[in-house]
A and B are shown apart, each in its own frame.
Chain A
Amino acid sequence: MREPVWEFLIVNYLFLGGLSAGLYFVSGLATWIQDRECKPAYPALARLGALLAPWPVSLGSALLILDLGKPLRFWKLFMHVRWRSPMSIGSWLLVAFTILSLAYLWSWLDDAERRRWIGRVPRRAYAMLPAFLRAWLEADGAPRRRILALAGLPMSVAVGIYTGVLLGAVQSRPFWNTNLVAQMFLFSALSSGAATLVLLRFLSKDRPGLRELRFLYGLDIILMGLELFIVLPYLIHGNLSSLAVKEALGLVMGGPFTFAFWGVFLGLGLLAPLAVELWEFKPFLLGRGPFHVNPRWAMVAGALVLIGGYTLRYVFVFAGQATGF
């Protein structure tokens, strides 16, 4: 087996980038879906997601920079656009995503909050900003939320996909080199966003309402279902593929990563929370009225999804590097 050159910093980066994408995506949906009064259907959820979205990806980018051999040269990433390099596209994408997510966050702040933040900036420095920007910062963000939410949907999908493409576009690593990895990472990223919000909504003072929970659960079940829908073909197709792919897959089919993949990612991180959420959903699915709401189980499910998402990235980063032709 080969020595890995990408290690936990990269695992963290891929996980955190995906998490931000998921947060923005879920919050964006919650903003974009409107109730009968043309207001965001799940404002508490939307606001929480918007407030959180920029930070994991920022931390992840910082970790990525720390992982560079020459961290002080990170700016060189932005001296080029190399459309055949997933990392180059991804770097630009992350910058755009982070700016957008910050704008989206700003739009969810109320007047007092905005003024408090502006007040913290030294006045002279603030005065140096262009007038249109100052006007934008000071204006009420509410009317912009929907358009920013809409813009965020493709952007978060792109970021979610990117974390998978970074690995999947490497043709020398048969473990990665399939389009299914991008989709697997995307759905895992989005579901980790939903799971984080489930977890935090139950921790917040205003407990989520049934409608909000139905939305979150429904979304999470769909995303996890899609993930499962990708993982199984990935395994089956891989085993029916060329020898190099089959051998690479051996790492999770009775190799050093088998427990992490089957036990932690698939069992604990995907099937278990799916089962919990389906069980919670059961009465609703069977048309027998509102579903169970057991906050403890819901939070366990959310935590498991996060563990699963992290494990998925761990397995892929390390196992992929151990493979080759």
Chain B
Amino acid sequence: MERRTFIELLGAGTLLVPPLACKLRGPIAAGPTNLNGIPTTCELCPNKCSLLAVVKEGRLAKLNPNPENPKSRAMLCARGNAAIQQVYDPDRLKQPLIRAGERGEGKWRPVSWDEAFDFAANKLKAVKEKHGPEGSLWSSTEGFQEVFFKNLGQAFGSPNVMRHPTLCLASMTLAYSTTFGTVPSFDLLNADYVIMAGANRFESIITPDTMDLIGGTMERKAKLIYLDPRFTVTASKADEWHPIKPGTDLAFILAMLNVILTEERHDKAFVETYTLGFEQLLEHVKPYTPAWAEKETEIPAADITRIARAFADAAPRAVFYAGRRSSWYTNDFQMRRAQAILNAVVGNWDREGGMVPNRKVAKGEFTFMPWDDPKASRVDEVEKAFPLANAKDGVYLPLRENVLKGTPYPVKAWMIYKQDPMHALPDQGKTLEMIQQMDFVGVVDIAMSDTAWYADVVFPESHYLERTDPIEVMPGIWPAAVYRQQAVKPLHDTKPMLDIAQGLAKRLGLSDYFDYTIEQWVEAEAKELPVPNGMEHMRKHGVVGFEKPKYGTTRNAVHRFVTKSGKIELFSERLQEAGHDPLPVYTAPAQPPANKFRLILGRKATITHAALTNLPWLHEHNRENDLWIHPEPAARLNIQTGDLLEVSSTAGTVKIKARVTPEIRPDCVFMLHGFGKKSAWLRRVHNVGAADSILLETAWDKVSGNAALHETFVKVGKA
């Protein structure tokens, strides 16, 4: 009741959308729900679902979905449910550790926090004295307390704060923001026609997209066209699955554009009003006919034509979904740009069932003492090499190359938060080399990751259910601000990242930058939430979200897109100036030589990145990874399911069992991420299966610097 009135008040306040503009279909919160529990926010993947933690006698009993978050669609996935096991995991990091043997030998000395802080601070100070603050690297993956880690690195004076996007979605975000000035969301709940290329949305859960697509395609019979070299769960649910030749998605999209533009099926009024460069685009796509694309993609020209027409006819309730799982090829940016252009010309921009610019929930900011900008420039030389990329996030693989070469200057201390570069980066051998050339490596994590296994000091962070975190805003069609509050007291001698930052800051003489508590920080944020008594509301509900989407706010003559021209840039002058193709130009990808295969990657709903494979409830469903290989090459190589294989690339060699399956193209092989761990404290996956990062070669997208993960060819044979 209370929540209803509140949401309605918000709706009434904006008055831009007619009521019931989008009624959620399907039983999104069917039946009664249990609101007994401490509202908090999941941390097991980047979706940040709202949940209610049921605590009995000081122990976590169950985590239930919190239906109040419109983005998380009243669900909690397998991983979310398994978070309890992380807390009570006997293999968990329980107190600070200092390395006692060689790096990677697994000999540890449990120490007090004071000793760990002193040890790390002395090492950091020594590096600073010798190499300056820029001699330290601070890398992290996203998380609510990442801000404190980053701040520590910046306050320390290092320009080398390295975030995760270039191992993630940097090429996609750059491509869409180059075109639209912003990265939109896709209204899969209301779309009639959806094309997904390699975005395995039913195995790689993204809220609310996964849930909306199931509701959408299954209950509304909206078409789902799916392109993937692998027959995934998404492929099995799609109306059409096309096992496209890897690396040719751009050809497919350009041919779709060719059909739509030459047949004048695009949204002329929209293109006229909102876009720039249509004439160049029309000229540009002329050679890219479906007949030409058939040769590249191995998808019949007739299918491409049919799909292009149906897509244009269904617009604006038609979307070519962006996808977000890293980059695949070195031309990834241009492929995503072509998607953006295709979406633009059919006029699905900011329409129900189309592509919608993200809305945000307002929140306050805590003001802390600012520090001076670093004097040195970044070691990855991002401004020079990737002028369009987000310089603050850095570019990970070029950074590793420079650190290994020692140019433009040496980097000798590496602090890592919540990230496992040993698995997150391709070419584990190089990462190991990078670790070995460091004078000091410190890791903050909740479990002994492979990177932590090679560190000098390991700081155990409190589990998310044991701590209170800053408020996080998740933009989207159904935006939400979520709060993570402590559900149980820390079980072991662990600390939240803020306390760890403070402990180090004190010894590094940086305490002034961290003279606040998490409560003060959160209260400042909660003050400006669009609800009365924001703090109290968050404690009681854990989330502020908007249930009703707003469409069309940017579809008016006065709206200025955040691009150079203020319009949607089909043709991009910025790209041209930076020395890139202003319109996506296709170059055929290299093909694996005879007897080699392209190694492709993908995700599963029970694993997040390379983590969680050690949790019993999840491990039960993924005991070991294997190498998918098509029956035809398997017969040629005399390989049967269960055979131990030796797989090698120029980066490394692994041994892994075979899975002979028709669910993959004959020219590709596939393996799951998250196995073959070196850390003996991940006992279920220690030396079980194989790590893809050993095989993957170093390659990146030319424009964004994003790691390109499908550029590796491997040799496969019986071990």
**A contacts B directly in the complex (CB < 8 Å)?**
no
Interface residues of B (CB under 8 A from A): none
Interface residues of A (CB under 8 A from B): none
